[in-house]
Amino acid sequence: MAIATGAKKPLTRRQLLVRSASTVALAGMGSLARPHLSRAADRPRIASGIQSGDVSGGSAMVWARADRAARMRVEYATIESFKTMIGAVSSDALPDHDFTAKALLQGLPPGQDIFYRVRFEDPGEPGMAGETQTGHFRTAPADKSSISFVWSGDTAGQGWGIDPSRGGMRTYRTMLENRPDFFIHSGDHIYADCPVPSELKLPDGGIWRNIVTEEKSVTAHSLAQFRGNYKYNLLDDNLRAFNAQVPMLAQWDDHEVTNDWSPIGSVDETGYTEDGKSRLVERARRAFFEFMPIRAIPEQAGRIYRRIGYGPLLDVFLIDMRSYRDSTWNKRDDPGDAFILGAAQLAWLKRELASSDATWKVIAADLPIGLISLDAVALGDGPPERREHEIADLLSFMKRAGIRNTVWLTADMHYTAAHHYDPNRAVFSDFEPFWEFVSGPLHAGSWAPGELDNTFGPEAKFQKGCSAEQGENLAPCFGLQFFGRVDIDGHSEVMTVTLKDVDNRSLWSVDIEPRPDARPGQLLAQHI
What is the per-residue pLDDT for 28?
Answer: 35
pLDDT of 128: 86
DSSP assignment letter at 83: S
User: For the segment 453-472, what is each residue's pLDDT rounded down to a tens digit?
Assistant: 999 999 999 999 998 788 78
> Are 157 and 119 found together in one domain?
no
pLDDT at 491 over 90: yes
Q: Provide the domain count of the chain.
A: 2
If phi > 0 it is left, if psi is from -120 to 50 it is alpha, else beta; for residue 490 that is alpha
Q: Which of 78, 103, 138 is the last residue of a domain?
A: 138
Q: Average pLDDT for residues 307-316, to the nearest whole number?
A: 98
Q: What is the CATH number of the domain that holds 484?
A: 3.60.21.70
Residue 385 CB neighbours (<10 A): 17
pLDDT digits (tens, 9 = 90+) for 384-434: 999 999 999 999 999 999 999 999 999 999 999 999 999 999 999 999 999
- Please indicate, yes or no, whether residues 101 and 162 belong to a single structural domain of this protein: no
Q: How confident is the model at residue 519 (pLDDT cuts 50, 70, 90)?
A: low
Do both 509 and 373 map to the same domain? yes
Query: Would 515 be classed as within a structural domain?
Result: yes
Whether 13 is covered by a domain: the verdict is yes
DSSP assignment of 342-393, as one string?
A: -HHHHHHHHHHHHH---SEEEEE-SS-SSBB-SSSSB-SSSS--TTHHHHHH
Output the domain CATH number for residue 72: 2.60.40.380
Structural domain includes residue 441: yes
Among 4-8, 36-40, 250-254, the least confident range: 4-8
The pLDDT > 90 percentage for the chain reads 80
Mean pLDDT of 33-61: 82
- pLDDT at residue 15 in the model: 42
Residue 144 in domain: no
SS in 3 state form for 186-218? CCCCCCCCCCCCCEEECCCCCEEECCCCCCCCC
One domain for residues 208 and 106: no
32 pLDDT above the threshold of 70: no
Which residues touch 378 (CB under 8 Å, ≥6 apart)?
Answer: 330, 368, 369, 370, 371, 372, 388, 452, 453, 455
pLDDT higher than 90, residue 378: yes
Residue 307 in this model has a pLDDT that exceeds 70: yes
Report CA-CA distances (Å) from 481 to 329, 470, 507.
Answer: 28, 14, 12
Q: What is the pLDDT of residue 11?
A: 43
Q: What's the Cα-to-Cα distance from 370 to each of 186, 206, 245, 423, 508, rounded to whole Å?
A: 17, 37, 34, 13, 20
Note whether 271 and 352 are same-domain residues: yes
Read off the pLDDT of residues 119-173 as tens digits, 9 standing for 90 and up.
999 988 877 889 999 999 999 999 999 999 999 999 999 999 999 999 999 999 9
Residues 67 and 45 in one domain: yes
Residue finishing a domain among 86, 103, 138: 138
**% the chain with pLDDT above 70:** 90
Is residue 104 assigned to a domain?
A: yes
Closest by CA position to 277, among listed 294, 289, 291, 264: 264
Q: Does residue 274 sit in the same domain as residue 330?
A: yes
**143: in domain:** no
* DSSP bridge pairs for 436: 408, 419
Asked if residue 210 and residue 85 are part of one domain, the reply reads no
- The residue out of 97, 116, 138 marking a domain boundary is 138
pLDDT at 318 > cutoff 90: yes
Nearest to 454 by CA among 375, 387, 391, 370: 370
pTM above 0.85, yes or no: yes
Average pLDDT over the chain, rounded to whole? 90
Q: Of the given ranges (5-9, 110-114, 372-376, 459-463), which has the lowest mean pLDDT? A: 5-9
pLDDT at 376: 93
The per-residue pLDDT for 520 is: 55
Does pLDDT of 268 surpass 90?
A: no
Compare 271 and 251 and report the one with higher pLDDT: 251
**How does DSSP assign 380-391, residue by residue?**
SSSS--TTHHHH
- Of 64, 32, 33, the closest CA to residue 131 belongs to 64
- Are 474 and 374 in the same domain? yes
Sheet strands (E) in 18-123: 46-53, 60-66, 70-77, 85-93, 100-105, 113-121
Question: Quick one: 373 and 464 in the same domain?
Answer: yes
Is the same domain home to 56 and 189? no
pLDDT at 521 over 70: no
16 pLDDT above the threshold of 60 = no
pLDDT of 72-105, one tens digit each? 999 999 999 999 999 999 999 999 999 999 999 9
What does the pLDDT look like over 161-211, one tens digit per residue?
Answer: 999 999 999 999 999 999 999 999 999 999 999 999 999 999 999 999 999
For residues 256 and 290, is the Cβ–Cβ distance under 8 A? no
- The answer as to whether 122 is a domain residue is yes
φ/ψ of 229, rounded to 5, equals: -65, -40
- Domain containing 74 equals 3-138
What is the reported pLDDT for 5?
41
SS (H, E, C) 308-344: EECCCCEEEEECCCCCCCCCCCCCCCCCCCCCCCCHH
pLDDT at 39: 67
Q: How confident is the model at residue 27 (pLDDT cuts 50, 70, 90)?
A: very low
415 lies in some domain: yes
**354 and 461, same domain (yes or no):** yes
